[in-house]
Amino acid sequence: MPVYEYECDTCRKVFEVQQRMADAPLSSCPECEGSVKKVMSMSSFQLKGGGWYADGYASTQKGVGSSAAATTPPPCSSGGCAKCPAAAS
């Protein structure tokens, strides 16, 4: 279940609440009953390494598996974005 951060407009308290994604957002502070707003906080999700190309998910070539993709570096890791196929468009 995701954890959401809220800030109270009245008392300025910042607090976290564990809620389902389908749950309605909170509207009042549990301390002072003031109105609250959701705060954007840093996610624990991080991409590291060579990205999706290293494990073959982005491959559109027939017969390319994860072992072949793992030996081929992603385009941006060998010379910057100038060699990236997306940079040409």
Domain residue ranges of the chain, discontinuous segments joined by +: 3-39
- The pLDDT tens digits along the chain (89 residues) read 888 999 999 999 999 999 998 999 999 999 999 999 999 877 777 777 665 655 555 555 555 444 544 555 555 555 566 666 666 55
Which residues make beta-bridge pairs with 39? 5
3-state secondary structure of 61: coil
> Contact at 8 Å (CB) between 53 and 85?
no
Separation between Cα atoms, residue 3 and residue 22, nearest integer Å: 13
**Token pair for residue 57?**
């998910």
Asked whether the whole model's pTM tops 0.75, one would answer no
**Token pair for residue 29?**
């502070």
